[in-house]
Structure 1
């Protein structure tokens, strides 16, 4: 009696029983999968271990880095057992500075993972479903949809594939090409998972299972979302992570060059510090720029989507490789018509310094250390008057008169 390809018996006398056993097993497996899908929905957070696994990995790496720097590099210098020739005083000075840097770095990380992003259900009262269908169900991050230009695109797509529709000069000028404009929801942004009307800039995170105020992104290295309440701590953490990795990198490179022997753990930590240091620095610079331009990570995608839609419209009109001068003319006309305001600048109102203080607080010490809190309440934000009340991207002629000058 030999087993079949699926583990069922192939004996003719027991063939039916074997098939039945496989059938039951498949049904049980399907039931388990269905149960898991019901258990983990956007209304519920991911399993705790799944959300916190990367946090444990990062903590383990930090502990290892402390051991390598103190136990395998500084201790031999202090005990005069090292062949580097750097001296006891160097070892003591490097270790004291490293421990201080480690404590501030650890403080910033603990503050980061202990501070929630600001969950909207904790600040907004529940509300019943709107009478009309909600405009956005909000499984975050919400995509920045761009409204289709139905007639224009349908005509372009029906054009013969071997020809490119050329601009018409029947009226003595290039044919007007409408700019693709993002669709704007004007109804209540009701979340069916949290059962609330979402405030501006709030999105539902499927990993945390809740709506997050001023949602930026979900970060696996902190095991939660980055949002209104903890964005400043995320930036401060990346600042100290960059300095921590840079300190380790510089010291261990000098140590390795001075040592006649090769320590594999020291070499490994140099590589890890370089990798994480570059990552932390890139995150730091990116988020400082986003703050000073009044955007979050998810909001910045709207500009990328707009560029893609505009490129698609121009390609359908002029082709991929031809009429580049005409494409530039159309883009310049669009810029003039909309006043050069980017599509993702709805919350860019005020100077870069004002936007920075709204996010990081007014105390300068709070820009460097994980203390204080952001200004505001995470629900109400100053809106750029060049946009409509629902975030409509307005033409310059529709701006307030004082801004049209």
Structure 2
């Protein structure tokens, strides 16, 4: 027997209760890339403070280095050679002078706007909002309907034992299940599914700011893809009624009908007396003001019969985004202003947070959003000019008077590639944020809107099929007639027109639309926003019939 076998047998004899697997040597576990990413994300979620200064400002240094390198290549290696009329020039002297003038105008505008974007704070709520106590918790009231409970006042939601003790619900073996139809209509089932999906959308915007706020730096489209994997967390969910309690207690809006036998009898039992030949006396009501169920009121003049419902209904999210309970930040101890969110990388609440942008080293919020947009304008024009001029100059035919030597500069080729890439990147961001500004929406708010659109597309495909384009358009038109359009009437911060939305951020002075100067007459402070009157005071999207009369 070998020595290792003898040692293993001796260890097994000394420890008979130990499993055989522990006696074997454990192989070292090699972590894969996905495991490293998961561990890194878990560590980031556990951190309470902001990211380090070097991490937040690293991309800013990269941008500055790239743009100053492009300055060296374009000015020194292209335009100066044209002005000096050197042998390997790519154009004549007048062309070089024109290039220098236009280039320095665009470069100055870019440096100016980028400096304003990185040095202007987005606006942190802790600097403007005072500390406050948490709002008092409101007791959830259960209103019981039925002919036996017409005059019962609303009461706080209690346990079933309390209801049995008060005589509202019978206990023990006398309790019976409410009769529920086994076969539900197809439209009711679809409506329940849509309501369930709508409840799952609670806190999507706040969860995005807490988990992947920097994904918005690559545009709203990438942010929507990143947010598709976010699950709503428990601390941001809105209060909802428990399904079991809703089935037990008959409330307004529930579909189950409670049987009268479920409740205790509140009138005296019948006696076995001899039947009287005289007509029975009319029963006296306990309440003199009790309404009669036989006297139906006449409908008003503007009464319209209820239209038949479509196979699937629009179910807006039931998220009370305007309530104090929803907006209170327990970590910092104050009430968040409208449209503000807590950024994970900055570890604080940002006013009108759009996204965390590593290219400017901070969040893009209410007070630097205009300068960020001016930066996108200038960088798009700058990269387009550099890309086109260098590309045309290097692709001109050889042996021309303005190009005597057939040489190609590798650094110019590198700048052509870099300028083309940054033009596509900044141009797409510029287009996306122009659209968001005209709608008065942020990247985070658009994520919630796209969730609604995606849910509605799935519902329409289930009902009408993928190829039922006409039926789907007709259904959407009926929804818009009932609720309004998504992004317009269905936008909580829609101001009524695209011009009003634009001027709220960029101001009324047209020079400020293109130059990084403060908006005039009043810049966006991130504290004063007027909700859309088509929404309730809690932030629920209401039907058209509930809007103010002048907006219907």
| TM-score band, normalised by shorter chain | 0.7 to 0.9
Partner of 1:348: 494
Cα drift, residue 268 of structure 1: 1.2
The CA RMSD measured in Å over matched residues stands at 3.7
Counterparts of residues 136-285 of structure 1 (less than 5 Å) = 138-141=206-209, 176-185=311-320, 186=323, 187-258=325-396, 259=403, 260-285=406-431
Q: Which runs of 5+ in 2 are unaligned?
A: 1-21, 29-37, 139-201, 211-226, 244-306, 397-402
Cα drift, residue 194 of structure 1: 2.8
**For the pair shown, which has the larger CA radius of gyration, 1 or 2?**
2
- Is the 8 Å Cα contact of residues 483 and 543 (structure 2) preserved in structure 1? yes
- Is the 8 Å Cα contact of residues 78 and 89 (structure 2) preserved in structure 1? no
- Say if 1:140 and 1:118 are closer, same or farther in 2 by CA, change over 3 A: farther
Q: C-alpha separation between the residues in 2 aligned to 1:103 and 1:322?
A: 53
TM-score of the aligned structures, taking structure 1 as reference length = 0.77
Counterparts of residues 31-110 of structure 1 (less than 5 Å) = 41=46, 43-84=48-89, 86-110=91-115
Matched, 1:296 2:439: no
Q: Which of 505, 510, 513 is residue 367 of structure 1 equivalent to?
A: 513
**3-state DSSP of counterpart to 1:218:** strand
Q: C-alpha separation between the residues in 2 aligned to 1:359 and 1:42?
A: 34
Q: Which of 511, 524, 527 is residue 379 of structure 1 equivalent to?
A: 527
Q: C-alpha separation between the residues in 1 aligned to 2:524 and 2:47?
A: 28
Q: C-alpha separation between the residues in 1 aligned to 2:102 and 2:310?
A: 67
Q: C-alpha separation between the residues in 2 aligned to 1:34 and 1:377?
A: 39
Cα drift, residue 217 of structure 1: 1.1
- Say if 1:85 and 1:234 are closer, same or farther in 2 by CA, change over 3 A: closer
Q: Which runs of 5+ in 1 are unaligned?
A: 1-15, 23-32, 152-171
Q: Larger RCO: Structure 1 or Structure 2 (Cα < 8 Å, ≥ 6 residues apart)?
A: 2
TM-score of the aligned structures, taking structure 2 as reference length = 0.58
- Say if 1:117 and 1:140 are closer, same or farther in 2 by CA, change over 3 A: farther
- Is the 8 Å Cα contact of residues 208 and 444 (structure 2) preserved in structure 1? no
**3-state DSSP of counterpart to 1:211:** strand
Cα drift, residue 206 of structure 1: 0.4
Q: How many residues align?
A: 361
Q: C-alpha separation between the residues in 2 aligned to 1:89 and 1:334?
A: 62
Q: C-alpha separation between the residues in 1 aligned to 2:241 and 2:137?
A: 25
Matched, 1:307 2:448: no
| CA deviation profile, 1:285-332 (whole Å, cap 9, x unmatched) | 22122111111111112221111222333445x375476655444333
Q: Which of 87, 108, 119 is residue 114 of structure 1 equivalent to?
A: 119
Q: C-alpha separation between the residues in 2 aligned to 1:122 and 1:58?
A: 29
Q: C-alpha separation between the residues in 1 aligned to 2:501 and 2:384?
A: 29
